[in-house]
Amino acid sequence: MSLPLADVRVLAVEQFGAGPWGTLQLADLGAEVIKLEDPASGGDVGRYVPPFQEGESSLFFETFNRNKKSISLDLRHPDARAVLEDLVRAVDVVYSNLRGDQPARLGLTYDTLRDVNPRIVCCSLSGFGMTGPRAKEGGYDYMMQGLAGWMSLTGDPEGPPTKSGLSLVDLSGGYASAIAVLGGLWRARRDGVGCDCDVSLLDTALHELMYVGTWAASRGYVPPRRPNSAHPSIVPFQNFATADGWIVVACPKQKFWERLCEALGRPELAHDERFADFAARDRNRDELLEILDAAFAQRTSAEWLAVLGPAGVPSAPVNEVPAAIHEARVVEYDHAELGRVRQVASPLRLSGDEQPMRPAPSRGEHTEEVLARLCGYDPGRIGDLAASGVFGSQ
């Protein structure tokens, strides 16, 4: 019980990436997350995503579903509703990442479950939200990166609009939904009344336009796409090519700019009126970057980082992923089909005990255990339900 969420139970009707990422954060903090998988579709589609996939196990699925439990339940079956409601009585949260109109159709909203459990928190993470004209539309990360303007900000100015190298809208939507769940749960325990949490990928992506969105909404600002992943207004704050690769150099404070000038052996640049402050460097970025590009090309990445780091200039190599993993805190465990699995640990590091790592569950692995423990079903009741097909075909 020392884990922060050890007294929280979540029933998750989830699949693929965004939703499982959200509940993974809760599971890593100790919550009992029970995945409700549809037997008719073979469960979570993430089980079958290549590469590194064996049968119903994959490293993709492991990434999103460690430390969870799995039950099989066909929500379309006439006997499933009673089972679902018995589970709702025993949990704190019903979480789903389905199309926006599906929670209401499947009876996974607060209005449909409040009589079963008035404290239940019902969280929906969908593409476009549970209301409005697009609620019936499916939505995926790549679509949201286009709709929300992210692609227009990313990539070389002469190249096509480009998505992020990672599914950042999915991941951000998962984090946002986890925060919403914790807010709803806190209120439910304080006031005794649950709620709906309606989180959408599009709202999340638009919100993450952050200051660029404020500039656009307030002043009609159209952000330019800049070479070498440069910041829209702070100079220098971008990638630079070295003699053998690339490094990132960031000067988001005046003192860092002055330190950079010293580290480059060009202290006079700090006193040049063209580069004296943020606004001047932004106005004269082309002239300044010509000077900096020529300087950084003279040495290797390692040589520059050995100079910039001790000088107090924020800087880093542009790593490939295998090199980046060496910077990570890694957790590992053995899996029956996949062998040794190593994953990057959660960034949510609270003092006290950490959650021991367990492999992602096999499909329906915990059906009998969960129904017996949480719902009080005896073996006869479970056997009758199994025979009826509520857990899928035998």
CA dist 394 and 391 (Å) reads: 8
Give per-residue pLDDT as tens, 221-277. 999 999 999 999 999 999 999 999 999 999 999 999 999 999 999 999 999 999 999
Tokens (6 digits) for 339: 């062998």
pLDDT for res 1: 60
Which residues are CB-contacts of 26 (< 8 A; sequence separation ≥ 6)?
Answer: 5, 8, 10, 33, 178, 181
Sorted by where each starts, the structural domains of the chain and their CATH numbers stand as 9-207+326-388 (3.40.50.10540), 228-241+246-317 (3.30.1540.10)
Q: What is the pTM of this model?
A: 0.94
At 2, the pLDDT band (50, 70, 90 cuts) reads: confident
Asked if residues 241 and 297 have their Cβ atoms less than 8 Å apart, the reply is: yes
Residue among 312, 288, 304, 296 nearest 231 (CA): 288
Peptide bond connecting 236 to the previous residue in cis, omega within 30 degrees of 0: yes
Tell the burial category of 281 from Cβ atoms under 10 Å away from its Cβ (0-12, 13-18, 19+): buried
Positions annotated as catalytic residues are: 170
Tokens (6 digits) for 298: 């003279």
Asked if residues 267 and 250 have their Cβ atoms less than 8 Å apart, the reply is: no
Give per-residue pLDDT as tens, 56-98. 999 999 999 999 999 999 999 999 999 999 999 999 999 999 9
pLDDT at 354 over 60: yes
pLDDT for res 236: 98
pLDDT for res 355: 86
Q: What is the mean pLDDT of the chain?
A: 96
Tokens (6 digits) for 333: 């465990």
Strands 195-200 and 53-54: unpaired
Give per-residue pLDDT as tens, 97-136. 999 999 999 999 999 999 999 999 999 999 999 999 999 9
CA dist 237 and 311 (Å) reads: 16
Tell the burial category of 368 from Cβ atoms under 10 Å away from its Cβ (0-12, 13-18, 19+): middle
Find tokens 């090199």 and name the residue: 323
Asked if residues 9 and 88 have their Cβ atoms less than 8 Å apart, the reply is: no
Tokens (6 digits) for 89: 């009585």
pLDDT for res 394: 53
CA dist 335 and 354 (Å) reads: 20
CA dist 170 and 145 (Å) reads: 10
Q: What is the 3-state secondary structure (H, E, C) of 250-318?
A: ECCCHHHHHHHHHHCCCHHHHHCHHHCCHHHHHHCHHHHHHHHHHHHCCCCHHHHHHHHHHHCCCEEEC
Tell the burial category of 193 from Cβ atoms under 10 Å away from its Cβ (0-12, 13-18, 19+): middle
H-run or E-run covering 326: none
Tell the burial category of 44 from Cβ atoms under 10 Å away from its Cβ (0-12, 13-18, 19+): buried
